[in-house]
Chain A
Amino acid sequence: MPIKSYLAHPHNGKKNELIQALSAIDQCEIVAAQNKEVLVLVTETENKVEEAILKEKLETIDSLKLLAMVSGFNTPQNN
């Protein structure tokens, strides 16, 4: 049951479009920065297959320039 977080970078001026596109996907939860062109995206899927399908779906979103996965804090103390 993977849960992953990403920084989603929109193309110039496409932040709102990206918010709309990601909001429409069940497995996605987003938090948009109020003052910068970036969104935090958290995905929750049932298994690796579903995750791979979701990844493909995300890659087709036109307003998405870059999806950078976040590995969390750089220490093993973190979960």
Chain B
Amino acid sequence: MYTSITDRRKFIKKMAMLSAMTAAATMFPGILFAEEQEKGIPNSANLDWKKGPCRFCGVGCGILVGTENGKAVAVKGDPNSPVNKGLLCVKGYHQTMCIQSKDRLTHALVKKNGQYIKTPINEALDIVANKMKETINNHGKDSVAMYTSGQSTIPEGYVASKLMKGAIGTNNLDCNARLCMASAVAGFLTSFGADEPMGCYEDIDYADYFITWGNNMAEMHPVLFSRMLEQKSRRGAKIIDFATRTTRSSTASDKSILFEPQTDLAVANAICYEIINNGWVNTSFVKKHCNFSKGLTNMGYGLEDNYKFTDKPSTIDFEAYKKFLEDYTPEKVATYAKVSVKDIKYLAAIYGDPNKKVVSYWCMGMNQHTRGTWMNNLVYNIHLLTGKISQPGNGPFSLTGQPSACGTAREVGTFTHKLPKGVVTNEKHRRLAAKIWKVPYERIPPKPTYHATEMFRAVDRGDIKFIWTQVTNPLVSLPKTSRYRPGMEKDSCFVVVSDVFPTPTSDVADVILPASWHIEKSGLYGNSERRTQHWDKMVEGPGETTPDAWMTIEVAKRMGYGDLFPYSEENHVEEIYNEYRQFHEGAKHGMAPLEVLKKESGVIWPYVNGKSTQWRFNAKYDPACSNGEDFHFYGKPDGKAVIWQRPYEPAPEVPDATYPFWLNTGRVIEHWHTGSMTRRIPVLHKAMPSAYAEFHPEDAKALGIRNGENIKITSRRGSCTLPASINERGLPTKGQVFVPFFDENMMINDVTLDAFCPISKEPDYKKCAVKVEKA
């Protein structure tokens, strides 16, 4: 790992300053040090500041990048952005520093006789196009695949979808948002028939309570958490942290409640039981706006290749639902959830109080769950039963992990089952896509093929013979990499990797394409609150680096689809966005014109009559409501949301005598996902140079493990050796080990399980069984 530390003392000073700024941010929510970014920069008065969204998480903070002589020399928070109001986190401030990394991929590399040979980009793109065509000719169109990202820009996702589904005619397109947001999508679609949160970040300014479900926002969404802390100190708003591990979020909250992994399902049902049992149901809201349904149970966990599942919903009535909840009294649930009856009743009473506004936040804890769709449904149930939804300060809010998981993966639809509007199984949606793409309707296949996990299983089996990954690092981020890394190394599959830096995924590539980084291209992202943000190219990329969208277009042209991709190199972002907008015309999902996005620090869709819609489904704010009532859940044909009967079911693998610990994986504030960018930013790399395994002190004592001592974590799939961390950043519950996944040198995903939610197909990275021994 390269680090460009030329002056160690300067660096230590920088670290000291950063530590103090971090401490200040905890004590003074909303504090700004933006001037620091301009300090020491020569001729700072001449800096050209350009706006854009941050490259990292799904919060979508607005940034201003200062450029001078064609180089990015400073980053500060955009004070005009309603998201962060000028504030940034430690990753945000330092993001552009990775561009200068010495091991940047600047030219295409083609593997010949086991060696990577520097190759002109045009030749490399010829090789990719020829190989893709040849594979289709020899093995059929479903033998090629693309795997993209929630970090791809909207135009990048759009042309990938158009190439695979519209031009080639295969649904072999999926993305890494499957690993983080698919359960949220399935939850929204099953409960409301329309994806993405109904509320927005402004909810923070109105809520009396924030209840975070398995969500360490202080580290993962620090700017939003800072906004919550500000409301805590200004108005006395309360934060309740409901989690399996004590984190920085827990210690900054008013109350921390810990639960046994997987039992969040039972606790959510117990809250609903209490709401009904205590007469806290908003009866008129439920009668007017909700239906009750149940689906299949005992669905399995997707552990077998080619696993298939289709839910069969059936309507139930309120009485049947009430009867079902009798299995979830707080007294019964407390026995296995390890949450006290008092705490369950406390949570229920917050939701049940008609005079308290409540926002629920969650992210990976609920989504990376073998019953992730159910868990999302259950939190919606709580808000629907109490009518606390779609109003300022009241609502369920699923946060995204990646900067354009919403804008690209979900809205453009870079999943196997999706189209830019709707799904491939719907004839109307296929016809609309065919019309806008100007392709024969029959070319778009009506059946989804491989979701992420199954796609890499197909590579391992030899069914997929060509795969192109863009903006993602699956051989660090997939679960059970102990299977998928050898799978990708097989000669049966030609691997193309498009990235900015070398990664363990590019290590197995046949062709490596040098991608432009964020500000080296124009683009658009869409964040968690439905805000679309545009940025212009700010600096030139080095060597032959090229935007991913343009590389896809060039390959498409070489494959003979030039007429479908008539975009110009200079204006392709604008041309693609204008084409894409046609998919979402109308009051339910209208996207803002590009000229508006160029001026504003992002705009929330639906953008109707020149205005963002901040709270969907509420007639007071949402012009798409047309049923004459206060609320209209127009995603469903009858305009009603669904309260789902979803039971508690255990995890597929639980601790036993041989593997006695739960393994939970996650992130840290310093690093973005697999660390390929942030580990190349010296300040961040030095702050958190390697992964570790957190233990409960009593477990550590019983095992005789000391802090910093190397330990080996082993599951039925593989093992990983890391230093122990006891009573440091986080504190897992007894019987649990926590490991962050950012470190490619300590591959914890060799250990994890590739079980997934049968409805959303999102894997569960939070629960599998492991044993621990001294290394």
List chain A positions with a Cβ less than 8 A from chain B.
1, 3-7, 29, 31-36, 38, 40-42, 44, 70-79
B662 within 8 A of A: no
* Contact status B20-A7, CB under 8 Å: yes
Residue of A nearest to B40 (CB): A29
Q: What is the CB-to-nearest-CB distance from A55 to chain B, in angstroms, rounded to a whole number?
A: 16
Contact with B20, one of A6, A36, A44, A75 (Cβ below 8 angstroms): A6
Knowing A1-B9, A5-B17, A7-B27, say if A75 contacts B32 (CB, 8 Å): no
Residue of A nearest to B690 (CB): A77
Knowing A74-B728, A75-B729, A78-B687, say if A34 contacts B33 (CB, 8 Å): yes
B686 within 8 A of A: yes
Q: What is the CB-to-nearest-CB distance from B145 to chain A, in angstroms, rounded to a whole number?
A: 38
Chain A residues, Cβ within 8 Å of B9: 1, 3, 44
Contact with A75, one of B13, B31, B33, B725 (Cβ below 8 angstroms): B725
Chain B residues, Cβ within 8 Å of A36: 24, 28, 30-32
* Contact status A72-B15, CB under 8 Å: yes
Q: What is the CB-to-nearest-CB distance from A38 to chain B, in angstroms, rounded to a whole number?
A: 6
Contact with A40, one of B12, B15, B33 (Cβ below 8 angstroms): B33
Complex Cα–Cα for A34 and B692 (A): 36
Complex Cα–Cα for A28 and B22 (A): 19
* Contact status A76-B728, CB under 8 Å: yes
Chain B residues, Cβ within 8 Å of A78: 15, 19, 686-688
- Give me 21 A-to-B residue pairs in the complex whose CB atoms sit less than 8 angstroms apart, sorted by A's number: A4-B16, A5-B17, A31-B21, A31-B35, A31-B36, A31-B39, A33-B33, A38-B27, A38-B28, A40-B36, A42-B13, A42-B20, A70-B19, A72-B19, A74-B728, A75-B688, A76-B707, A77-B687, A77-B690, A78-B687, A79-B12
Complex Cα–Cα for A7 and B690 (A): 28
B23 within 8 A of A: yes
Residue of A nearest to B728 (CB): A75
Complex Cα–Cα for A76 and B687 (A): 9
Chain A residues, Cβ within 8 Å of B725: 75
Q: What is the CB-to-nearest-CB distance from A4 to chain B, in angstroms, rounded to a whole number?
A: 6
Complex Cα–Cα for A78 and B86 (A): 27
Complex Cα–Cα for A42 and B36 (A): 13
Top 10 nearest A-B pairs (CB, nearest first) are A72-B19, A5-B16, A5-B20, A40-B20, A34-B32, A70-B20, A36-B28, A31-B36, A70-B23, A36-B31
* Contact status A38-B36, CB under 8 Å: no
Q: What is the CB-to-nearest-CB distance from A67 to chain B, in angstroms, rounded to a whole number?
A: 11
Contact with A29, one of B13, B19, B32 (Cβ below 8 angstroms): B13
Residue of B nearest to A30 (CB): B17
Complex Cα–Cα for A44 and B692 (A): 31
Chain B residues, Cβ within 8 Å of A31: 17, 21, 33, 35-36, 39
* Contact status B15-A79, CB under 8 Å: yes
B708 within 8 A of A: yes
B34 within 8 A of A: yes
Please encode chain B, from 346 to 379, with 1 for each CB lying within 8 Å of some chain A CB and 0 for all others. 0000000000000000000000000000000000
Complex Cα–Cα for A2 and B264 (A): 48
* Contact status B688-A77, CB under 8 Å: yes
Please encode chain B, from 240 to 279, with 1 for each CB lying within 8 Å of some chain A CB and 0 for all others. 0000000000000000000000000000000000000000
Residue of A nearest to B730 (CB): A75
Residue of A nearest to B32 (CB): A34
Q: A34-B35, A73-B729, A78-B688 are in contact. List 13 more A-B contacts (CB 8 A).
A: A7-B24, A31-B35, A33-B24, A33-B31, A34-B86, A36-B28, A36-B32, A42-B13, A42-B16, A72-B16, A72-B19, A73-B687, A75-B688
Residue of B nearest to A69 (CB): B20
Q: What is the CB-to-nearest-CB distance from B458 to chain A, in angstroms, rounded to a whole number?
A: 38
B586 within 8 A of A: no
Complex Cα–Cα for A1 and B8 (A): 12
Residue of A nearest to B15 (CB): A79
Complex Cα–Cα for A29 and B18 (A): 13
Q: What is the CB-to-nearest-CB distance from A6 to chain B, in angstroms, rounded to a whole number?
A: 7
B689 within 8 A of A: yes
Q: What is the CB-to-nearest-CB distance from B423 to chain A, in angstroms, rounded to a whole number?
A: 44
Complex Cα–Cα for A73 and B729 (A): 9
Chain B residues, Cβ within 8 Å of A41: 20
Chain B residues, Cβ within 8 Å of A38: 24, 27-28, 31
Residue of B nearest to A37 (CB): B28
* Contact status A33-B16, CB under 8 Å: no
Q: What is the CB-to-nearest-CB distance from B73 to chain A, in angstroms, rounded to a whole number?
A: 17
Q: What is the CB-to-nearest-CB distance from B39 to chain A, in angstroms, rounded to a whole number?
A: 7
Q: What is the CB-to-nearest-CB distance from A33 to chain B, in angstroms, rounded to a whole number?
A: 5
* Contact status B728-A34, CB under 8 Å: no
Complex Cα–Cα for A79 and B692 (A): 16
Complex Cα–Cα for A38 and B725 (A): 33
User: Which has the most chain B C-beta neighbours within 10 Å: A3, A6, A38, A40?
Assistant: A40
Complex Cα–Cα for A72 and B725 (A): 17
* Contact status A29-B17, CB under 8 Å: yes
Contact with A35, one of B15, B32, B689 (Cβ below 8 angstroms): B32
* Contact status A71-B31, CB under 8 Å: no
Complex Cα–Cα for A72 and B688 (A): 12
Please encode chain B, from 41 to 68, with 1 for each CB lying within 8 Å of some chain A CB and 0 for all others. 0000000000000000000000000000
Residue of A nearest to B691 (CB): A77
Residue of B nearest to A43 (CB): B16
Chain A residues, Cβ within 8 Å of B30: 35-36
* Contact status A73-B33, CB under 8 Å: no
Complex Cα–Cα for A71 and B28 (A): 17
* Contact status B31-A79, CB under 8 Å: no
User: Which has the most chain A C-beta neighbours within 10 Å: B34, B692, B707, B729?
Assistant: B729
Residue of A nearest to B23 (CB): A70
Knowing A1-B9, A35-B30, A38-B28, say if A7 contacts B35 (CB, 8 Å): no
